[in-house]
Structures are given as structure tokens and as C-alpha cells.
Structure 1
Amino acid sequence: MRNKYLLALLSAFLLWFAWPPIPYTSPLLFIGFVPLLIAIEQVIRGDFAQKGRKVFLLSFVTGVAWNTASIYWVYNAMNAFLPAGASLMVALIPFCLGPLLMALAFRGYYALRKKRDIWISFIGLISFWIAYEYLHQTWDLSFPWMTLGNGFASLHQLVQWYEYTGVYGGTVWIWLVNILAFLIFWQYKMRVSAYPPSRLAIILVAIVLIPAGLSLWRYAQYEEHINPSEIVVVQPNIDPYHKFGSITPNQQLDILLDLSRQVAKPNTEFFVWPETAISSPNGINEEDFREYPAYQRIFEFLNAYRNGNVLSGIESYRIYPDQQSITARKYDEGVYIDHFNAAVLIDQSSKLEFYHKSKLVPGAEQLPFGEMLAFMKPLFAHFGGTTGGYGSQAEPSVFYSQSGIGAAPVICYESIWGNYVAKYIENGAQFIAIVTNDGWWSDTSGKDQHFQYARLRAIENRRWVVRSANTGISGFINQRGDVVQKSDWWVPAALSQEINLNEELTIYTRFKDLIAYVFLFTGLLSGILLFVPRTR
């Protein structure tokens, strides 16, 4: 079995080396699973006891090694907040839970192989894998960072067709090529030709080249409709670990306003500031925000810009006379309070628009599965969230300027949900504004991956992405997914860019993760086949 575990680790290495932010290596995803499939086939055909258990362990080893190498930076943030033992326990969510679900997909594949034709088993494998990815973006322990289709973020020219399928189309593409490559290799090695290798090779080449070729053609031919808007993004570079220790909220606002003025033009329409840029040690009361000095200063700042708006992250709260939400906590007798990681739009009228982050980080911003894990509240509180979790809103809302421009206020972690971002666009957003704070992860690949994934949101919806990150990377991404401007890491910066607004809806924006639903259905059928006796 030792050689088989080496093959499993080889798969992990190939998948990691192909993963963003490493440039130009994404095509290795096409063969990343081949060594693991070979190891599993050797188990299936070998003289072993407990074959299902061995298949599970092999795929689990691949998943753990691949995930750990790709998202090691998650532990950096956890370790900064928690004691070593506690951070190790919380790290099980991103490092082990995903690989566990991956291994279950392969275990289901093995169960199908015992009862059904190999092609039905491969359809089952793809379906079970997509079921894992879909579950991992919808339940309380969501972490869709490692969805396979995200792997092409650093070579976006090859996946312009994500405007039709989203990242799940990339997942299916990767799996089809891996399966065909495995079959060709295995038949050559075993000197059998149950399925003519030459025919399989032709199919493999077609499956690789046709989508890639069409994508490159679409990339070369795509032209943006000219509908300009002048935007400024600000990167204040405030250390998130000492936000209220070495600098006051008023000094933070000084930095944001000064940087904005440096690059602003008379026709600037949006100033985009990062996650929690507007804050105080106790948060901002949304009902009384107009009374805060920060609001008054921003309002006066906008007087110099005729159509100017400030779109900023904000730490806010609301007070209720009773418990109006499950996250609201009793603050005093007859008083309940709900905290939010939010965004706000401030213009030159008295109107204020707030959006409350919906996709909350498990552990840091919400307690997964509510009362079931209530005993872990003290642990999660140390991670930087509140013991009851942040409040949220169920659906995204679009910020509209006085001139009628619709902006999608996407907060940090939310930008890796293609279907959720598409809802903003469907609701009228003409560009995507990502406000984030990636400083928790330090100078690791986490910040680069997060920036690269934004390219996929641009392609899926054909919208410019305007990204303001507290410590970097901030920048502008056009409708093809090209990085037009970006800042350096850990430096104060302000960037100005004329973008093109877009009102057209792509196929993906309209139908979102339809391809995932198709494979969830085939996965259900595959699961049923596990319990249906095979007829001769």
C-alpha cells in the first residue's frame, strides 16, 4: 500500500501546484487526479481486505495534503486569535472537513464500481463530487474556497465560458479530462483495449481544445459597451490586529479622506473604502449614524464631487425592543442588540443605504448550527466574532447612487460565491464593489487567491470588479477578467479608474448554478443505483 499512498500524495502535489496564485500551471488540474485514480484502481483490482476503507483513506490523504498546502494561511489567522490547541481544533473545519467530503465522494464511486458499469461509476463520481462542492457552499460550515472550477482563476483566458456555466462548468471539465486521461493510461499499462485508446485520445483532445479554443476566441472578440464611470478605491493599510490600539477612528478617517482626495477627479462617482473602514470600538448605531462626526465629515467631503458617493465597509449595530432576530442578544432590560459586518452608501442627500453581510465566516462571524454547538461559543468569541454571531440579511441588496448607478456591495468572503454575487447583478448592479480586509492572513497566498477569484465573478457576470482591501490587494478587474490596475501589499494606496458599467445579463447570471442542479439529480440517481440489485 505504500506505493499507493505515494500516488495519492503525487495527486495532492499536482493539484496544489496547479492552484492559484501559482501562474500558468492551471492545466495540471487536467491530470491532478490521475495518480489517485490509478491507486484506487489498483485497490479495486487487488487482493485486499476492506477495499472501501482503503479507497476512502487514499482519497482523504490526497484531500488533506492538497487543502493544507493550498490554504495553510487560514491557520495564520486562527493562531493569532486562539491558543495553539484551540486554533488546531478550529482548523479542522477548512483542513479536514472538505477532504472528508471529498473522500466520501470517492467511497461512493467505489460502491458503484462494485455494482455498475465503469462509465456509470464515473458519472456517479462527478456527481458525488459536485454534491460535495454544493454542500460546502450552502451549509453552516461553508467553505467553497477549494471548488475545483476556482483553479482557473490564474489562467482566466481559458474559461471565458464561465459566463454560461460558472465555476461548476470548470469542475466538470477538469473531471472529464482526468477520467479520460486515466482510462488511456490504464489501458496502455494493462495492455487491454476495452475502449479503443485512439478514440479516447481523440475525445480527450477535443474536450480540452474545444472549450479552451472557444474561450480564447471569446476573450479576443469580447468588447465592452462604452458606459463610463469614474471610481476611486482606497487602501488605508491599517493593521487589523491593532486597529483601536495605535490609531483612533478619527485618525483612520483622516487617512481614508486624504487618500481619496489624492486621486479624485471632479467627476468621480464612487469612493470605495474597505471592510469595516468606518468603525468605533463599540460599533456604529445605524439609526443614529447621521449624528456621528464621521458621517458629518464624509458628507462635507462629498460636497466637492457633484455625483460623489462613498461606499464603505462599516461595523454597525441595531437596537430592538424585543428579539427580532435569532442573532440579537439581550443588552439591557427590554433592549436587544444585533451587530453587523456591513456596508453603507453615503451620498449628498440625507438617504443612507445599509447592507448586512450574508455569507458569514464559520466560527469568526457566526456559530455554525446554532444551539447544537452552543458549548463552543466562548471559543469562537476569541476568534474575533461575537458569542452570538453577527446578524445578516438573507438576500443581497444593491446600492443606488443619486444618478441611478447600481453597485453590488460584496463584503470579503462573499466574493467566492458565484451564485450569490449573480443575485446582485440580477437585481440591477452594474458593477461589483468588493470591500475586504485580507490583512488577517498576513503576506500569504490567501490574499492573492482571494484577489484572483474576483476575476471569475467578472467573467460570470461581465461586470467590472472594483476591489478595496484594507492592506491589499486592491484594484480594478475588467469584464474579461483582466487586472487593469492593482496595488502593492501593505502600503497605503489610492487608485482611480474609469470603468464601463453594464446592464446586460449573462446566461450564468440568469440561471446561476443550474449545472450543479443537473449533477445533483444524477448524483441522486447514482445513490439510488447503489440499492437497486443489478440484473443480468
Structure 2
Amino acid sequence: MSASAVRARGLAALLLGVAGSTGLMWLFGRLEARWVAVGWVCFIPWLLVLDRVNSRREAVLSGLVMGLAFTAAIFGWFPAALQSYSQAPLAVCWLALLLLAPFMELQFITFALARYHLRRTSREGPLAFWRITLTAALVYVGTEWLSPKLFAETLGQAFFASESLRQGADLAGAHGLTLVLLIVNECVLAAGKALAAHGLREGSRRALAPMAMLTALILGCFGYGQLRLRQVAELETPKQQLVVGVVQANITKYEKLAAEMGTYDVVRMILDTHYQLSAELLQNRKVDLLIWPETVYPTTFGTPKSEAGAEFDAEIREFISRSRVPLLFGTYDLEQEREYNAAMFVGLGRDGALERSAYRKTMLFPLTEWVPELIDSPRLREWMPWTGYWKRGPGPQTLPLQLGEGRTLTVAPLICYESIFPSYVAEEARRGAELIITLSNDSWFSGTPAPKLHLMHAAFRSIETRLPQVRVTNSGISALISPTGEVLAEVPDDHRASLALTVPPTPRLSTLMVAWGDWLGPTALLLSAMLLLGPSLLTRRKVRPAA
């Protein structure tokens, strides 16, 4: 067979393997219970390709193609959403996504390289399989943690569809579930290859160790999940109920509306709609706290920029005084010349006067909300007029909310993008938070998988901290999330509604994620470096005395 024919055959095998794994990952990533089992085998077609890699160049190519295919399949909705926001040509948006793919999905390249290196340098024997499997999985998880991911995705998040399996996230986050997924895939492949190569009798003997490992991992994950579910249920002590009212008005794309109607009329419409939905809610139910979503009041509160702004501020205060229900809402906060995306709390103090406090968003979405000063320039603003001007807040913090009857509620406030960062939320939990409150604006992604994915991220933060969560968005998905990640109530995407949510009590259950933060990523990097470099360093030390 000619060299060109060999290359063509290898390329065909690569594309077939990548297509197989990408398809399985796409099914797994649908977050549906019927596809959970696919996670245990989704890597196998690509692993078969990696078993045939004969050079570093082929390993890099395999990882690069896998990363591109994964990005196109899982985030194929993003270019259209980016086009809607920036008005850039769709082809340019696709090009930007694919150019970023090797950096956002770098774990596929490093995994392929590590696996090739280990297969080439490890001696034959049972220990070689375990060294390759564990080290490559750690490289994958460590690289994922280190990579500049816009959406903080990892395949283990798809186990959210399993009530039991997702509970393991309180140990090592969703990355811990990804580590288990990778090891199980390797074990399934090893067992299948042993049976195919050696027949049923001899193959069963050789497959015993990987089969035992994958069985122990899967049953262990299910068993741990059941244990934690029972513990949460037992520790949810009855106490005074907390009822939170949420408003999802489904008013989207403020900038476009402002261009059509004028800024004043848009703010007028937004506030009137929220007043009406809130009044309907308060008429039917006693509520301890009312919440409106991110940037629902699209100007500065407390430091008005115009007479109209001062009138709107006074209106909001009057509404709170009249309803006698404290309000937490999204707005802008101004300090000197610095403007922040903020969550503003306004309520009645102990003396009956209105008091306000603010939380300023820290984790801003790159470019659309914030431009690093290092690259900010008039030329950049001219090229990309849609870039944001907000400044970063001071970091994780809790917000004490004064409710009625002298009650105080300590919350972990999050605004939109912040809900995808485990360590950020864990720090707020360590500061004594009793409830996570997330304000979000997902309107630019309405009609795509993004609202569902964002809700999934939020649910993992509740699992990791064992805190209930109230999530309020402009257009969906607003939800009440339990400490086990269960969505107890929701307003779907592209719907208008107001709900009164009875928040489950906090179980006060300690977790490793709260104690250590997002610890697995850096630990995986360190361990994988030791496993990769350790043998060669030992060999050098042995050679020196002999020399």
C-alpha cells in the first residue's frame, strides 16, 4: 500500500472516530436521563483512534480535530447569538469560535499527547494500563481547569441528568465527575479489546481488573449520591418559611428597544410591567423578599444621571414603601466615574426608613461587559462598538438582607456569568451564606440551549455548597433550586410570569468544595506532572552513579 493510501486511510479513521465520539458527546450533553449511560462510552471511538497514533504530530492533529468537532457540535448555537449581539457577519462569528476552539478545548490535545507518550514509554504489563489511564485522565482534567473557557464546560456536567450521580460534585465539582467518566471509558475499552483479542475464556480473565474498576466507580458514585440525598433530607430542619417572589417579564434586547422607542419610554415600560406583575403576586401571597432580574433597571440607581432618572428612583422607593416588601433588583451602581453591573437591595430598616446596599459584579463576560485595560483603546472601541464599559467589583461577598419582623437573611449574590465559577461561590458559602440568589439576563441566548446550560451550572453551585438557590432572569429560565440540585419550580425560556417560591431550609451540610474550593484542577496538574516526569527523573538518577 502506498504512503498516500496509508495517510488517507489514517485520516478516514480519525474522522470516523471523531465523528463517533462527537455524536455520543452531543447525546450525552442533552442533559436527559435517557442518555446518561452514553457518558460511560462516549470517548471510546476517539480512544480507538488514539491507540493508532504513531507520532506527536498525529497526536496533536487528533486532539485538534476532536476539539474543533466538539466545539462545533456543542456550541454551534453560539455564532448566531454572537451575530445577534454584535451585528457581525455570521461567517466571522463562526470563524472566531473555531479559531478559539484549540485554546478553549486544549484538553483534547494534551490528553492525546500524554496518552501517546505514555503508551510509547511504558513497559508492557498490568501496571502500564493503570498508569496510562490515570495520568492521561489527570492531564485532561488539569488542562480543562487551566484553559480559558468562556463557558466553563466539562463533560461531567452532563451527569446532572442523574439525581444520584450529580451529588458527587460536592467532593470535587463537575471535574471530578469528568475524571470518573474518563477512567470508566478506558476500562470499558480495555475490557472490550481483551475479549475481542483473546476470546471469551482468556479475555474474561484479562478483562476482570478493568471491569472490576468500572463497576466499583459507577456503583460508588451511585452509592455516594444516595447517601448524600438521604443526609440532606435528614438535616433539613423545619424552621420559619422563607417565601421569595420572582418576576420574569420577558422583555429583552433593551438596546434595540431604546433605539426604536427612546430610552425614557423603554425604562417606563420595563418598570410598569414589573410593578404590575409584582402587584399581582403580592395580592395573592405574603412574600418576604421580592426579586427582579439583572439590569432590569438599565441605569444607575441612587446616583441619577438626569431628572427622569431621579423620578424613576423615587418611584421604586415609593413602590417598596407602599408594598412594605424589600426588593432586590439588577441595576447599575456608580462611584465617581466607575460604573458597575450591580444587584441593589432596598428595604425597610429597623427604624422604618428605607435602606439600600449593593453588590457589584466581579466576573464580567470578556469584551461584551468588560475590556481589560491592557488592550482597551479607541481603535478597539471603533472596531467593536458593542464592547462594555463596566468595571470589576471587589470579589466574592455576602449580602445581609433585612427582612420583615426583624429577620436577617445572609445571601450569596451572583450576577449572571458568576454562577459558572465554583470557587467564587464556595468563598461566599464560607462567609456564612444561607441562600444563593442569582440575577441573570440570558435574553441574547433565548431559543438556544444556553438558558438550560446556564441553569445547569447554577444547580451545580447549589450541590457543591449544599445551599438552596433562587435564580431570576429577564426571559428564562428563572428557578428555585434545592441543595441537591433539583429544580423545584421554574419559569421556562421566553415566558412571562411571577412566582412565589417557598425556599427549602439550608441543611448545613459541610462539603469538600466549600472547604477547599475548586481544588481538583490544580491537584490534577501537579499529580499528572509527577506521573509523567517521575519515571524519567528516577532513571536519570540511576544512570549517573553508573556513569
Per the normalisation by structure 2, the TM-score is 0.84
List alignment gaps of at least 5 residues for structure 2: 1-9, 123-127, 543-547
Secondary structure at 2:52 match in 1: helix
State which of 274, 277, 288 in structure 1 corresponds to 2:293: 274
| Matching residue's letter, 2:111 | A
Shift, 1:436, TM fit: 0.8
- Whether the 8 Å CA contact 2:107–2:139 is kept in 1: the answer is no
The verdict on how the C-alpha distance between 1:21 and 1:206 changes in structure 2, with shifts beyond 3 A counting, is: closer
- Whether the 8 Å CA contact 1:431–1:463 is kept in 2: the answer is yes
Distance between the aligned counterparts of 2:14 and 2:108, measured in 1? 18
Secondary structure at 2:250 match in 1: coil
| Matching residue's letter, 2:238 | I
Task: Provide the residue aligned with 1:9 in structure 2.
Answer: 19
| Matching residue's letter, 1:99 | E
1:302-321 maps to which residues of 2 (within 5 A)? Answer: 302-306=320-324, 308-319=325-336
Distance between the aligned counterparts of 1:253 and 1:504, measured in 2? 37
Q: Does 2:350 correspond to 1:343?
A: no
Task: Provide the residue aligned with 2:311 in structure 1.
Answer: 293
Task: Provide the residue aligned with 1:524 in structure 2.
Answer: 529
Shift, 1:376, TM fit: 7.5
List alignment gaps of at least 5 residues for structure 1: 45-50, 320-336
Q: Does 2:463 correspond to 1:452?
A: no
Distance between the aligned counterparts of 1:243 and 1:220, measured in 2? 49
* CA displacement, residues 150-188 of structure 1 (integer Å, 9 cap, x when unaligned): 122232332213223222221221112112112112223
Q: Which structure has the highest helix share of the two? A: 2
Distance between the aligned counterparts of 1:286 and 1:129, measured in 2? 48
Shift, 1:533, TM fit: 7.3
- Whether the 8 Å CA contact 1:20–1:452 is kept in 2: the answer is no
1:116-515 maps to which residues of 2 (within 5 A)? Answer: 116=122, 117-136=128-147, 141-191=148-198, 196-220=206-230, 222-223=232-233, 224-227=236-239, 228-240=241-253, 242-244=256-258, 245-246=260-261, 247-264=265-282, 267-280=286-299, 283-284=300-301, 286=303, 292-306=310-324, 308-319=325-336, 337-349=337-349, 350-367=354-371, 370-371=373-374, 377-378=380-381, 381-382=384-385, 384-386=386-388, 389-402=389-402, 403-502=407-506, 504=508, 506-507=510-511, 508-515=513-520
| Matching residue's letter, 2:252 | D
| Matching residue's letter, 1:292 | A
| Matching residue's letter, 2:183 | L
* CA displacement, residues 475-513 of structure 1 (integer Å, 9 cap, x when unaligned): 211122221111132222111111134272522212222
Shift, 1:305, TM fit: 4.7
State which of 103, 124, 130 in structure 2 corresponds to 1:97: 103
User: Which structure's relative contact order is higher, taking Cα pairs within 8 Å and 6+ residues apart?
Assistant: 1
Give percent identity, aligned residues only.
22
Secondary structure at 1:449 match in 2: helix
| Matching residue's letter, 1:72 | G
Larger CA Rg, structure 1 vs 2: 2
Shift, 1:259, TM fit: 0.9
Secondary structure at 2:105 match in 1: helix
- Whether the 8 Å CA contact 1:358–1:395 is kept in 2: the answer is yes
Distance between the aligned counterparts of 1:93 and 1:344, measured in 2? 38
Shift, 1:288, TM fit: 8.1
Q: Does 2:56 correspond to 1:42?
A: no
Distance between the aligned counterparts of 2:394 and 2:140, measured in 1? 27
| Matching residue's letter, 1:125 | A
- Structure 1's consecutive aligned runs of 4 or more residues displaced over 4 angstroms after TM superposition are 192-195, 283-291, 372-376, 533-536
CA RMSD in angstroms, aligned pairs only? 2.8
Shift, 1:405, TM fit: 0.1
Shift, 1:225, TM fit: 2.4
Shift, 1:390, TM fit: 2.4
Secondary structure at 1:385 match in 2: coil
